A and B are shown apart, each in its own frame.
Chain A
Amino acid sequence: MAISEVKRLAQALSQEYNSANPDLAKCGQFLSQLKIALIELSYLTHEERPNNIEELTLARDVLEIGAQWSVRTKDIPSFERYMAQLQTYYNDHSALPASPLKYNLIGLNLLCLLSQNRISDFHTALETIDPEQLHNNPAIQHPIKLEQSLMEGSYNRVWSSRSEVPSKEYLFFIDILMDTIRNEIASCSEKAYTSLPLSDAGTLLFFTNMEDILNFAKERNWKVNPVEQKAYFHSDADEKINIPADQIIKQTMFYARDMDRIV
């Protein structure tokens, strides 16, 4: 397939994707067609020939749409694949003109890692970002602030960050994140309170519906007292402390063996 034809196809894809009401299935078809076509160009061989800048830019643009499309279709593994391929275009091809979507997608990737609780990958990815962008780019700042709030426990701020997302693709991951947070808050509450009025539990967990609260309480084995409208958490105060005999024996044997070796 000649480059002009691939270009035509890519244009059709971006037109379809950027239209007001894109047909996602159709975009998917375009993408798989394009990927096959791109292999014939410089898609996989990453040599920087002087004349293939055009081809590389084309491939990158297609991949970018592909990544966004994956988020729309809620396909996380596919999103990760597209991002992994895009990394080479972002990091190793300095001759390419910068893409306007670059930081938006990197931010999305960060959020994706965060929503899966892959914190160490999140931080590794963070290090590769240019410090200038790190401090000033809103698309990057958003996941960074989110991670900070999460670590501190300011869940309130995580909740409110929903309203200030840089682009609508972010919402998909934030919704995943919300579930994680709810469980976090619940486990914190179990340790921190002895009892909690149900209505307050609702506000803490960002529930508006009483039924949701009761379902959630059931899921986590909370004792709900319907008269007082309070949830009681099982306390672990009467847990017995076992003497770690096994461990102590092992340790002592280890000392004895090593002492023996020295003497």
Chain B
Amino acid sequence: MSEAPRRSTRLNKNQEDDSKGKAKPVDQDVEMEDTAADATTEPTEKVLTPKELEALVVADIKQHFALFIKSAKTHEARFAVRALRAVSSLRKRLTSHILAQTIASCYIKDDDTRKRLLGYLGSEAAASITAEHETTVTKSETPEVDVYLHLLVMIYLLDQNQLEKGMELSNITVKTVQELNRRSLDQLAAKVYFYYARFYELTGRLSEIRPTLLNAQRTATLRRDDDTQSTLINLLLRNYFHYNLYDQADKLVSKTTFPENATNNQLARYMYYLGRIKAIQLEYTESHQSLLQAVRKAPQNNVTAGFQQEANKLLIIVQLLMGEIPERSLFRQPVLRKALVPYFQITQAVRVGDLNKFQETLATHAATFNADKNYTLILRLRHNVIKTGIRMISLSYSRISLRDVCLKLHLDSEEDAEYIVAKSIRDGVIDATIDHEKGFMRSKENVDIYSTNEPQHAFHQRIGFCLKLHNDSVKAMRFPLKAVQLDAAEVEAARDQERTLVQEIAEADEDMDEDDDL
């Protein structure tokens, strides 16, 4: 996300430079190599030729290398995280030429890894390597760069739909990552596993990698590797869901703890999976909470439209199953509107308690619901439609014959109506009595809700939510390390304090800069 604004400032700068006539297109390539680490200052033309664009991307990749190396040296995960976050924007610009050139500048000519990676890219890409790229070979000592390059090639193969090749490469990469066993690789490993599973999913062989993922998950847990752990748990859940093995998924969830420090995206996924498991097990309240979190934690942009749609679909059903009606505005959101049309119709049917309309909608959209794997959940709603229907009748009539209830709800027989009404009375849906001999249902007077404990309960729920929100926000705040130093400084002499303060200001500035970059 941070990549976009940075890029635009760079372009602005380029334009400025250009207008002053400073840029000399001739020596551009050379300059680019030099200033690769600091991309913001490179002068370029307004309209970039393809070759220059390629060079730009290569420079970006090299900048990421620097970040990975820095991360490995300083044991600070955030540099690696920053580089990985840029991958999604990099992904759109990757070509085989760019990758080949980068690879050429990283490995010496006879390196095995170089040969292998170039082999995956094809001979045409290898041909694009010119002597110029070879001259700047800097053999990297850190395996992070190695794995990162593997990852980029994997992503490229995925985008090119070369699944068999990608699968092969991902196998090799996963093996390398497992053999290397470096903590600085954790963030990269998570990504590698993700694409590894993706290749197997696309080739329909997901069940084969389950043992590998489970092993990796165990190792990651033992090493307290939060990123890999959270990614792997989600991959395993997805794996089980793919084959509808909710029983195993539930067992996995109960036997593992999802790391607290996981990224928001992984957490959102996990919450969605959790919501689905709980929905199937009829624990709607828990499911509702998880799904709500999933929807809220997911980034609200067009890239995640698919996830938002899926999560919202499930959320709507769970809400309906709980007897709540989702808000109308939900169905109007531009990202969701089209996908939610069938669900909107179901909601309408449930809201008015019209059994016929419900069955009709179910029949017309059966294929959609099946594809979403929500069909069985929606089938359960039939019961809710009837409940709503009975509630409506009970509200509008003080006395109604069971025969009329039967007709209004399109039930099979009067006996059925009697049983159903009796059950709703017991379940507390309506407050009424049945007169069996005369065959009618009599609604009791409405009780004033404010004379019960209900408002107290609602109040408690809301206050609880607000307090939890506050506590969570406090926990989520990140304090710079200097706060600890400040405490220590207080007991020291005044001059020491002064010196520390100066140091702090300098540090704070540095931190601010870095935060800006993030």
Contacts and interface: CB of A to CB of B under 8 A. Distances in A.
Interface of A: 91-92, 119-120, 123-128, 131, 134, 144, 148, 151-157, 184-185, 187-194, 196-197, 200, 204, 241, 244, 248, 251, 255, 258, 261-262
B283 A187 contact: no
Contacts of A191: 422, 425-426
B181 interface: no
20 contacts: A124-B250, A126-B376, A128-B244, A128-B247, A151-B383, A152-B420, A153-B419, A153-B420, A153-B423, A154-B411, A154-B412, A154-B419, A156-B416, A188-B419, A188-B422, A189-B422, A192-B422, A193-B422, A193-B434, A248-B456
A191 B431 CA distance: 10
A194 B380 CA distance: 31
B467 interface: yes
Nearest to B437: A197
A255 B463 contact: yes
A179 to B, nearest CB: 17
A197 to B, nearest CB: 7
Contacts of B245: 91, 128
Interface of B: 207, 243-247, 250, 280-283, 370, 373, 375-376, 379-380, 382-383, 386, 411-413, 415-416, 418-426, 432-437, 452-453, 456, 460, 463, 467, 470-471
B422 A153 contact: yes
B244 A127 contact: yes
B425 to A, nearest CB: 4
B206 to A, nearest CB: 13
Contacts of B283: 120
Contacts of B421: 192
Nearest to B386: A152
A193 B436 contact: yes
A207 to B, nearest CB: 15
A134 B376 contact: yes
Interface centre among B419, B420, B467 (most CB of A within 10 A): B419
Nearest to B278: A120
Closest 5 CB pairs of A and B: A153-B423, A120-B281, A192-B422, A188-B422, A153-B420
Contact of A194 (B207, B382, B433, B456): B433
**What secondary structure prevails in chain A residues at the interface with B?**
helix
A151 B380 CA distance: 9
B87 to A, nearest CB: 35
B239 to A, nearest CB: 13
A194 B435 CA distance: 8
Contacts of B463: 255
Contacts of A120: 280-283
Nearest to B417: A154
A123 B281 contact: yes
Contacts of A194: 433
B436 A154 contact: no
B419 A185 contact: yes
Contacts of B243: 91, 128
Contact of A192 (B247, B416, B425, B437): B425
B437 A251 contact: no
A124 B383 contact: no
Given A184-B423, A193-B434, A194-B433, 10 more contacts: A124-B250, A124-B280, A128-B247, A152-B382, A152-B386, A152-B423, A153-B424, A192-B434, A196-B436, A258-B471
A157 B382 CA distance: 15
B382 A148 contact: yes
B477 to A, nearest CB: 14
Given A124-B280, A127-B280, A148 B383 contact: yes
B281 A192 contact: no
A255 B92 CA distance: 51
A261 B383 CA distance: 45
Contacts of A251: 460
B419 A193 contact: no
B437 to A, nearest CB: 7
Contacts of A197: 436-437
Contacts of B436: 193, 196-197, 200
A92 B436 CA distance: 54
Nearest to B470: A262
A134 B386 CA distance: 23
Contacts of B418: 204
